[in-house]
Amino acid sequence: MNTTTTQASKTLTGSGRTELLERIDELEQKLAAVRAERDAYLENLTATQQRCTELLLALRATKLYDELGYVVDQELAVPLATLGGAIVRARTLHPNGCRYHALVEEVGEVARALRRETSEHVKEELLDTAVVAMRLFLGEWDNRPEQKAEVTS
């Protein structure tokens, strides 16, 4: 309960106070349900937007192939569109770019996945590695000074 609710409940007595507190609890539960529904909707919307971006990039790659034929092999159109969609998502999550050590970390994750994980997870890690490599290739590196961890004694 917030302070206004607490103050109001102090001034009321008996059944009026009980009814008010019950109504407040009911409204708080409804608010929590609405927030959960909103969060689920936004999550679904984001996933749908990402898939639309991937499909649009696939369409563009296919159109480019149709126009130029030799630039993008048909077999590569969908994987390149997937990479393009993943780069769009990465730019949203990490707008300042990448650091070179991120590429080394991603390669390490591929190596671990090759030893322990399913082929689908290996593909996900390879895609992450390709995203970092492509962003570095495009000049999207993060030049901000590194944050050093403080040593406490």
**Which tens digit of pLDDT belongs to each residue from 66-124?**
666 555 566 777 788 888 888 988 888 888 888 888 899 999 999 999 998 888 889 99
pLDDT(132) > 90: yes
Find the helix or strand (DSSP H, E) in which 82 lies: helix 74-93
CA atoms within 13 A on the CB side of 114: 7
pLDDT(150) > 60: no
pTM of the model: 0.51
**Which tens digit of pLDDT belongs to each residue from 9-55?**
556 667 778 888 888 888 889 888 888 888 787 777 677 777 777 77
Residue-range domain boundaries for the chain: 18-93, 96-142
- Matching residue, tokens 């009911």: 26
Contacts 24+ apart (CB under 8 A), 11-16: none
Three-state secondary-structure class, residue 98: strand
Strand partners, 98: 141
Which candidate, 89, 86, 82, 78, places its Cα nearest to that of 46? 89
> What angle, rounded to 10 degrees, do the helices at 74-93 and 14-68 form?
140
How far apart, in Å, are the Cα atoms of 72 and each of 33, 68, 138, 152? Answer: 48, 8, 18, 54
Query: If pLDDT is split at 50, 70 and 90, which confidence band does 128 have?
Result: very high
pLDDT(153) > 70: no
Which residues, other chains included, contact 76 with Cβ-Cβ below 8 Å and sequence gap of 6+? 61
User: Would you state the structure tokens that stand for residue 39, as one six-digit string?
Assistant: 């969060």
In angstroms, rounded to a whole number, what is the distance separating the alpha carbons of residues 36 and 42? 10
